[in-house]
């Protein structure tokens, strides 16, 4: 079996900085023609110049790869967009303190009414990490009314609910025209039982946390039908081994090395291979109006064993034998 995908796209990716950028970009460029790249670096990417610099750094390390760097939403954002009005922006909203490097995130959405109105007029996209600071299993569901209010107040604003992990948010997609969602591989594969039902696996610890089988089933229904308002977004988020295998483990799953082989297996096993191309690129191209470099990636049913460590980072499914792999060009 060989399955070829034209210009696959990852709609939510952490490429990081420093030495790690080389490793992450190598995996990304091997499997994808582009990605929405997250701005939560140690110093958040919150100006146009920082965005351009980061993009250039990524492009220097990649080939046939379009990085769409999101702008970190804060008090500077409105001015930045006005200063560079001719560009389309993707803006990432992190509620303050909810996850890695989000200390400079938004405290109250009420402060950003003018910005959202401006983005709505221009056709920019608002990408949202939708979690409150409530109880860990309820955080995402508690964000549902906030999404609904945003969607109603700015009916033309394109709002992307990032890495959805619950049935509650899955159900919002058909209720509001302007709500979209990204879905990760790890939320399609795992539940809380995989994370902590047996021995604790810190390499599956992420935010939002993986949830119940019913939640996973709701995400699978969307992905396996390539629901037109969903996009694959890996949220591959590496942290060095020492930051994961300790008390106070960092949140983030490094899934980049296994993404397309495992997505192919999962979709094949659920008789949904016909929907994979829409889920890993075509939907995003339509939703974001993308013009991606031409890149064909072929997945073949030849086994491979996942490395135990890639340049200091432990990948998801480390040491496991996978049924599929990316074919050499």
**Active-site positions?**
235
CB of residue 99 to ligand DOR, shortest distance in Å = 4
The residues, ordered by sequence, that sit 6+ positions from 296 with a Cβ below 8 Å of its Cβ are 4, 5, 6, 7
> What is the rounded CA–CA span in Å between residue 174 and residue 230?
11
When CB distances are held under 5 to 8 angstroms depending on the partner's kind, the choice from ligand DOR, Zn ion, none that residue 29 binds is none
Q: Enumerate residues 176-195 that contact ligand DOR by CB under 6 A.
A: none
With contact defined as beta carbons under 8 Å apart, do 68 and 54 qualify? no
Provide the edge-to-edge strand list for the sheet that holds 71-72. 71-72, 90-93, 125-128, 158-161, 179-183, 230-232
CB of residue 14 to Zn ion, shortest distance in Å = 6
Binding-site size for ligand DOR (CB under 6 A) equals: 10
By CB under 6 A, residue 90 contacts ligand DOR: no
With contact defined as beta carbons under 8 Å apart, do 283 and 10 qualify? no
Question: Cis peptide leading into 326, omega within 30 of 0?
Answer: no
By CB under 6 A, residue 100 contacts ligand DOR: yes
Instruction: Tell me the per-residue interface mask from 102 to 131 with ligand DOR, x by CB under 6 A, - otherwise.
Output: ---------------------------x--
Task: Out of 80, 120, 140, 235, point to the residue binding Zn ion (CB under 5 A).
Answer: 235
By CB under 6 A, residue 206 contacts ligand DOR: yes
By CB under 5 A, residue 215 contacts Zn ion: no
With contact defined as beta carbons under 8 Å apart, do 184 and 219 qualify? no
**CB-nearer residue toward Zn ion: 131 or 235:** 235
**CB-nearer residue toward ligand DOR: 14 or 265:** 14
> What is the rounded CA–CA span in Å between residue 279 and residue 10?
10
DSSP 8-state secondary structure symbol assigned to residue 105: S
DSSP 8-state secondary structure symbol assigned to residue 110: G
**CB-nearer residue toward ligand DOR: 7 or 40:** 40
- Count the alpha carbons within 13 Å of 329 in the hemisphere toward its beta carbon: 5
Task: Out of 99, 165, 182, 264, point to the residue binding ligand DOR (CB under 6 A).
Answer: 99
When CB distances are held under 5 to 8 angstroms depending on the partner's kind, the choice from ligand DOR, Zn ion, none that residue 67 binds is none
What are the residues binding Zn ion (CB under 5 A)?
235
What are the residues binding ligand DOR (CB under 6 A)?
14, 40, 99-100, 129, 206-207, 237, 251-252
């Amino acid at each position: 079996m060989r399955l070829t995908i034209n210009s696959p796209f990852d709609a939510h990716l952490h490429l990081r900085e420093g030495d790690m950028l080389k490793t992450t970009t190598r995996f990304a460029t091997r499997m994808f023609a582009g990605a929405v790249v997250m701005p939560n670096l140690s110093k958040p990417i919150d100006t146009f110049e920082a965005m351009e610099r980061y993009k250039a750094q990524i492009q220097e390390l990649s080939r046939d790869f379009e990085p769409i760097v999101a702008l970190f939403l804060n008090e500077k954002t409105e001015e930045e967009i006005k200063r560079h009005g001719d560009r389309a922006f993707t803006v990432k909203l992190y509620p303050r303190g909810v996850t890695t490097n989000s200390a400079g995130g938004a405290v109250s959405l009420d402060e950003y009414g003018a910005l959202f109105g401006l983005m709505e007029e221009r056709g920019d996209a608002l990408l949202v990490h939708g979690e409150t600071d409530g109880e860990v299993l309820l955080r995402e569901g508690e964000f549902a009314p906030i999404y609904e209010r945003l969607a109603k107040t700015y009916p033309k604003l394109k709002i992307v609910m990032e890495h959805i992990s619950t049935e509650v948010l899955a159900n919002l997609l058909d209720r509001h025209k302007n709500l979209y969602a990204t879905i990760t591989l790890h939320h399609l594969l795992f539940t809380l039982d995989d994370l902590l039902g047996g021995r604790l696996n810190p390499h599956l610890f992420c935010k939002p946390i993986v949830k119940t089988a019913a939640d996973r089933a709701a995400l699978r229904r969307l992905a396996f039908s390539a629901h037109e308002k969903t996009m694959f977004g890996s949220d591959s988020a590496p942290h060095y081994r020492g930051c994961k295998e300790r008390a106070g483990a960092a949140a983030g799953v490094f899934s980049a090395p296994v993404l397309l082989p495992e997505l192919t297996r999962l979709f094949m096993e659920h008789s949904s291979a016909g929907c994979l191309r829409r889920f890993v690129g075509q939907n995003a191209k339509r939703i974001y109006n993308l013009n991606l470099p031409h890149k064909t990636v072929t997945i073949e049913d030849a086994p491979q064993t996942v490395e135990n460590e890639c340049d200091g980072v432990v990948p998801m499914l480390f040491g496991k034998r996978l049924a599929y792999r990316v074919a050499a060009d």
